[in-house]
Amino acid sequence: MVSVMVVGVALGVAACGGGTESSGPPVTGIAAEGQQLFRSNGCSGCHSVDGSDGAGPTLSGVAGSQVKLADGSTVTADDAYLRESIVNPTAKRVDGYSITMPKRELTDAQVDALIAYITALPPES
């Protein structure tokens, strides 16, 4: 079980510093737009896409997985959860992570692109 999350995804330059150059496998379409947003917003500074540890949870295989939250509950990382985590990063804190992801002002289309990218990521290897 991937006990991670997100998204807090997305957007950690201020809290986590600049991102790394690795931001996952080649993707196309809207997922490629999301990958570019992932890079340009510094998300990779906290969130890996390959299963490795970081200040924030890995996003590798998170889409559709069960995520344990800090309050002891579990949630399915569906599109609604990913959206909430990107738009309101403090709504549901992932168990084991204490850094607060900074909130970013993103358009609905940008959030859709980030979700498409996260959904395209393969499970950790």
Print the domain residue range for 75: 13-120
In order of 5, 38, 88, 111, 117, the CA distances from 107 in angstroms are 21, 14, 13, 6, 15
Task: Please report, for the domain that includes residue 22, its CATH number.
Answer: 1.10.760.10
- Answer yes or no: is 55 within a domain: yes
The pLDDT tens digits for 68-92 are 999 999 999 999 999 999 999 999 9
CA-closest candidate to residue 97, choices 105, 87, 85: 85
Indicate whether 8 pLDDT > 60.
no
Asked if residue 6 is part of any domain, the answer here is no
- As a whole number, the mean pLDDT across the chain is 83
pTM of the model: 0.80
> Does any domain span residue 30?
yes
Whether 48 maps to a domain, the answer reads yes
Question: What's the total number of domains in the chain?
Answer: 1
Mean of the pLDDT values across residues 10-14? Answer: 36
- What's the rounded mean pLDDT across residues 14-37? 71
